[in-house]
Amino acid sequence: MVYIDNLQLSEKQYNTYILKKYLSKHYGETAAINTIKNNSTKLSQIARALGEKDIAFFCLYYLQDIFVVKDTNEARELSKDHYGLWDIANDTFVNDIHDKVNIICPRGFAKTTIFDLAISIWLIAYKKSKFTLIGAKKDDDATQFVDSIKKVFKENKIIIDNFGQLMDNKKFKVNANEIEFTNGMYIRAVGSASSVRGANFKGVRPTVVIADDYQDEKDILTEDARDKKYNRWTKEIEQVGDKAVFRNGKKIKSATKIINIGTVLHKDCLVSRLSRNNDYCTILKRAIILNPEQTVDDIFESDLWLKCKKIYFDDKVDNPKEEAKQFYGEHYEEMKFPVLWEEKWDCFNDLAIPYWENRVSFMSELMNDATSIGEKWFKSNRTETTEEIEEHDFTKTILNVDPAGIKNKKKGDYFAFVVESLADNNFKYVRKGEILHFISFEEYINHICDILKDFDDITHIVIEKNTYMGLDLDKLKEEISKDEELRNRQFEFINEMQKKNKDEKISTVVDAINNGRIIFDKERVMKEAIEQMMDFQGQLYTLHDDFIDCVAEASNRLDTIEVTGKLQIFDIRKLGL
């Protein structure tokens, strides 16, 4: 049985039903009924003609095993927003309204199937795109996509019966990344790291480009990475095809269609930037449908959802998830909220739990909300004057250095310097904090020496090894040995590669800073360093994290290092013995 529009139909009934529905949409119900009655032996030709005119019909008729709920498949009932994507596809490929489209939909919304796989099949079947270029995140993803295309053209009987056998491995090129079809069409899939500059098929440049999940997390790590991704898009992807051709004021050839499909990873990621590019038609969807001015937090911080969350995280309950689910079931009507795809997403299992467990990922992958991605970790900080801080007795003092490359000032990552002490009141004090740029290696080494002279109680010097692989430590030791003021002091040097996840490390000091147990010297800690710390939103969503990374490293080291007291020699004669 086939299930659609609250009906249960046999496959033969379904084919007639969906044909009548879309004929009615375009020509009126009367004309649709008469056409079917008077052409009972030509329905396959009518369906083929209608499929060229309406991509939604093509998908529901020719790809029904993918998109229509049947006893023989595991398909879900589509939402109205899936049909909305097909409307955009019609405006782009049938009506030639859009040349550039940016589809931003939640992870798991079947956007690849709806607007990549199905569109590619339609383009090939109707010979609408001589050369279709598909861009995927990785080469493996590209290969999988080609395999999906092969499967449809090899196994879909209704397409084979109506369009013929379009694949021939013996006479035409068919491999892991490309297919040459018997009707003259060609498709190639490439990973995002591959250059597409100069791509062509038998002298024809790409006529349609579809980039699906074209960006990766590595593409958003830094401002430079984000700029490179966007610049490569504008210089390669947007230039790989042809412009429209006009003659006597009439378009005789369409421009290459460029489609981007993805989710928001950062406010300045490729997808986000394209959404602000007026040359693109952007469609943005979120898993939870919000009212104007409403936020996701408004929903999950309501009374019932907060009670549900408390149950879910109650470690005294044998099965907290089941009890929380039961609570949700008991208050279903009050707690449910509108979602983009009701057939797939349950408010509790598929939305609330991911929100509780990883809000950053939830906001990115399901809500496409870059403004909420990377919420600031630090809400407050406590400062005291140098005079107030130096009144304390310090039991441990450490200098932590996070080096950067030598570049022109004001560019690149910062060198970060933190002098942090543990006092006898068990509070930690950042007595000096700096983020600087240096134009020479010697300037960097000399600056460390100056700090050591300013703080004569520093016993441990920690220098991250990743940048200079110990060369800076060797040079520092050499300078200390030559300096009259420093060479007689005892230092313990720690020079190790930093492999621990930064977010994990920084998370260990969040509460201590917000609660004022790590205190900053308002005179000797740079204002810019404090501002950089307060802007931290997680490693993926923060441009510079040098200072807070250095503070966290110093704080964690203070918890583990041991300081041995100095040996003092007394004159035994002073004891009267």
Q: Domain extents for the chain?
A: 1-73, 98-284, 296-365, 382-560
Phi/psi at 208 (5° precision): -140, 135
- pTM, rounded to two decimals: 0.69
Q: Which pair of structure tokens corresponds to residue 220?
A: 């958003």
Cβ contact 53:24 at 8 Å: no
Give tens-digit pLDDT for 478-504.
Answer: 999 999 999 999 999 999 988 778 888
Q: Give the separation between CA 455 and CA 476, rounded to whole angstroms.
A: 16
Nearest to 195 by CA among 233, 167, 169: 233
Mean pLDDT, residues 15-39 taken together: 96
Confidence band (pLDDT; 50, 70, 90) for 323?
very high
- Whether 408 has a pLDDT exceeding 70, the answer reads no
Phi/psi at 548 (5° precision): -70, -30
Give tens-digit pLDDT for 354-395.
Answer: 998 877 789 889 999 876 665 788 989 999 999 999 999 999
- What is the model's pLDDT at position 571? 56
Mean pLDDT across the chain: 92
Is there a shared CATH topology between the 98-284 domain and the 382-560 domain? no
Q: Whose structure tokens read 């930690």?
A: 428
Helix 139-155 crosses helix 118-125 at what angle (to 10 degrees)? 50
- What is the model's pLDDT at position 222? 78
- Whether 566 has a pLDDT exceeding 60, the answer reads no
Question: 175: Cβ–Cβ under 8 A, 6 or more apart, which residues?
Answer: none
CA distances in angstroms from 356 to 109, 263, 286, 313, 319, listed in the order given: 21, 20, 17, 9, 17
- What is the model's pLDDT at position 300? 93
Which amino acid type is present at position 566?
A: K
Cβ contact 419:452 at 8 Å: no
Phi/psi at 435 (5° precision): -130, 120
Q: Tell me, which fold does domain 382-560 have in CATH?
A: Nucleotidyltransferase; domain 5 (3.30.420)
Q: How far is CA 402 from the centre of its chain?
A: 27
Q: Whose structure tokens read 């621990």?
A: 500
Give tens-digit pLDDT for 425-477.
Answer: 899 999 999 999 998 999 999 999 999 999 999 999 999 998 899 999 999 99
Q: Give the separation between CA 528 and CA 535, rounded to whole angstroms.
A: 11
Superfamily of domain 98-284: P-loop containing nucleotide triphosphate hydrolases (3.40.50.300)
Mean pLDDT, residues 260-285 taken together: 94
Question: 475: Cβ–Cβ under 8 A, 6 or more apart, which residues?
Answer: 441, 445
Q: Give the separation between CA 79 and CA 109, rounded to whole angstroms.
A: 10
- Whether 9 has a pLDDT exceeding 80, the answer reads yes
The count of residues in the chain is 577
Give the count of beta carbons closer than 10 Å to the beta carbon of residue 453: 13
- Whether 204 has a pLDDT exceeding 60, the answer reads yes
340-347 own/partner pairs: CB under 8 Å, 24+ apart: 340/79, 340/81, 340/106, 340/109, 340/285, 340/286, 340/287, 340/288, 340/289, 341/76, 341/79, 341/81, 341/82, 341/109, 341/287, 342/79, 343/76, 343/77, 343/78, 343/79, 344/76, 344/108, 345/108, 345/287
Give tens-digit pLDDT for 74-129.
Answer: 999 999 999 999 999 999 999 999 999 999 999 999 999 999 999 999 999 999 99
Say which residue, 52 or 137, is predicted with more confidence.
Answer: 52
Q: Whose structure tokens read 């927003």?
A: 81
Query: If DSSP codes are grouped into helix, strand and coil, which group holds residue 554?
Result: helix
List, in sequence order, the alpha helices (H) in 379-526: 386-389, 441-454, 471-482, 502-514
| Burial per residue of 239-270, b for 16 or more beta-carbon CB atoms within 10 angstroms, e otherwise | ebbeeeeeeeeeeeebebbbbbbbbbbbbbbb
Mean pLDDT, residues 399-408 taken together: 84
- Tell me the sheet residues that pair with 434: 417
- Whether 567 has a pLDDT exceeding 50, the answer reads no
Question: 275: Cβ–Cβ under 8 A, 6 or more apart, which residues?
Answer: 102, 104, 282, 284
- What is the model's pLDDT at position 538? 83
- Which H/E stretch holds residue 383? strand 382-384
- What is the model's pLDDT at position 493? 96
Q: Give the separation between CA 386 and CA 96, rounded to whole angstroms.
A: 68
Cβ contact 35:28 at 8 Å: no
Q: Whose structure tokens read 């270029």?
A: 133
- Which H/E stretch holds residue 395? strand 394-402
Give the count of beta carbons closer than 10 Å to the beta carbon of residue 507: 13
Query: If DSSP codes are grouped into helix, strand and coil, which group holds residue 298?
Result: helix
Q: Which pair of structure tokens corresponds to residue 359?
A: 């809000």
- What is the model's pLDDT at position 372? 60
Q: Give the separation between CA 459 and CA 114, rounded to whole angstroms.
A: 63
SS (H, E, C) 164-200: CCCCCCCCCCECCCEEECCCCCEEEEEECCCCCCCCC
Cβ contact 462:400 at 8 Å: yes
Q: What DSSP designation does 7 have? A: E
- What is the model's pLDDT at position 436? 93
- Whether 410 has a pLDDT exceeding 90, the answer reads no
Phi/psi at 112 (5° precision): -65, -45
Q: Give the separation between CA 87 and CA 93, rounded to whole angstroms.
A: 10
